[in-house]
């Protein structure tokens, strides 16, 4: 999987800072696979998208993933450290279709999420999403009667579409499931690194008169070495 270059990170930050999280996920996924068809990327199951973005995260920022959360019961701060390799080894490839009472449904994709992004009511959004995922749409389709069964079947078909972590608080013994939003996690790191890159470009351009492109073309190690000399 391609890592995001310094140029990619600034492009992502520039074009994604004020966009919807669904659009950011598409942007990051497209930057990670520049030779792929963006339409095909938008249509890949969410589990495949999440796995690809986790690979991008590992390739760009390393295989160790750290997160801080607060216990919902006692507010104790918890530090989580995850190994992306271990997570990816457990990844299950999505099934293309599921069948519920003779009707076929495909797993949701990023394009589907974009279609319902403006819907504020969760139940309405769920119905709209499952309608988009329906391959067979008879005139007498009663989705409400199938809602629970279809949701369960699609979750089994693409378990990586909605990831969560089992968390235990030692302070109060509370146990719960914490959502693992891979696109949001990657975006936070991209945004943090992009802002640091802007500072580095600013300092090196002032010191040496180099252009942004020249500075970003430097490897991280060489850029850091020049920054060390500027700051000495």
Instruction: Say if residue 21 is in the same domain as residue 79.
Output: yes
Instruction: Say if residue 12 is in the same domain as residue 75.
Output: yes
Instruction: Say if residue 79 is in the same domain as residue 143.
Output: no
State how many domains the chain has. Answer: 2
| pLDDT above 90: residue 207 | yes
**Over residues 147-165, mean pLDDT:** 93
**Over residues 17-40, mean pLDDT:** 94
Instruction: Say if residue 13 is in the same domain as residue 48.
Output: yes
Instruction: Say if residue 78 is in the same domain as residue 190.
Output: yes
Give the angle 151-179-131 at the CA atoms, nearest 5°.
25
Q: Other C-beta atoms within 10 Å of 15: how many?
A: 13
> Is 1 inside any structural domain?
no
Instruction: Say if residue 34 is in the same domain as residue 63.
Output: yes
> Is 68 inside any structural domain?
yes
Instruction: Say if residue 129 is in the same domain as residue 188.
Output: no
**Over residues 161-187, mean pLDDT:** 93
Instruction: Say if residue 174 is in the same domain as residue 141.
Output: no
CA distance 190 to 215: 18
Q: What Rg do the C-alpha atoms of the chain give, in angstroms?
A: 21
Which residues have a Cβ under 8 Å from the Cβ of 83 and sit 6 or more positions away?
63, 64, 65
Instruction: Say if residue 78 is in the same domain as residue 106.
Output: no
Instruction: Say if residue 76 is in the same domain as residue 168.
Output: yes
Q: Other C-beta atoms within 10 Å of 5: how many?
A: 13
Mean pLDDT of the chain: 93
pLDDT at position 142 is 82
pLDDT at position 56 is 95
**Over residues 142-148, mean pLDDT:** 87
> Is 46 inside any structural domain?
yes
pLDDT at position 172 is 95
- Range(s) of the domain holding residue 180: 6-91+163-231
pLDDT at position 1 is 62
């Amino acid at each position: 999987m391609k890592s995001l270059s310094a140029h990619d990170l600034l492009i992502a930050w520039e074009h994604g800072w004020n966009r919807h999280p669904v659009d950011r996920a598409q942007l990051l996924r497209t930057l990670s696979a520049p030779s792929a068809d963006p339409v095909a990327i938008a249509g890949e199951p969410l589990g495949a998208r999440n796995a690809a973005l986790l690979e991008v995260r590992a390739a760009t920022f390393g295989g160790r993933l750290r997160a801080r959360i607060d216990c919902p019961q006692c507010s104790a701060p918890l530090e989580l450290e995850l190994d992306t390799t271990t997570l990816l080894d457990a990844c299950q490839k999505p099934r293309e279709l599921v069948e519920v009472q003779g009707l076929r449904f495909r797993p949701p994709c990023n394009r589907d999420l974009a279609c319902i992004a403006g819907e504020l009511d969760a139940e309405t959004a769920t119905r709209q999403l499952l309608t988009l995922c329906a391959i067979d749409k008879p005139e007498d389709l009663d989705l409400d009667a199938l809602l629970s069964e279809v949701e369960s079947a699609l979750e089994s078909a693409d378990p990586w579409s909605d990831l969560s972590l089992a968390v235990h608080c030692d302070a109060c013994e509370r146990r719960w499931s914490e959502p693992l939003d891979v696109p949001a996690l990657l975006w936070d790191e991209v945004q943090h690194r992009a802002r640091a890159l802007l500072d580095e470009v600013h300092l090196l351009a002032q010191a040496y008169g180099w252009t942004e492109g020249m500075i970003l073309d430097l490897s991280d190690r060489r850029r850091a070495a020049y920054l060390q000399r500027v700051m000495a």
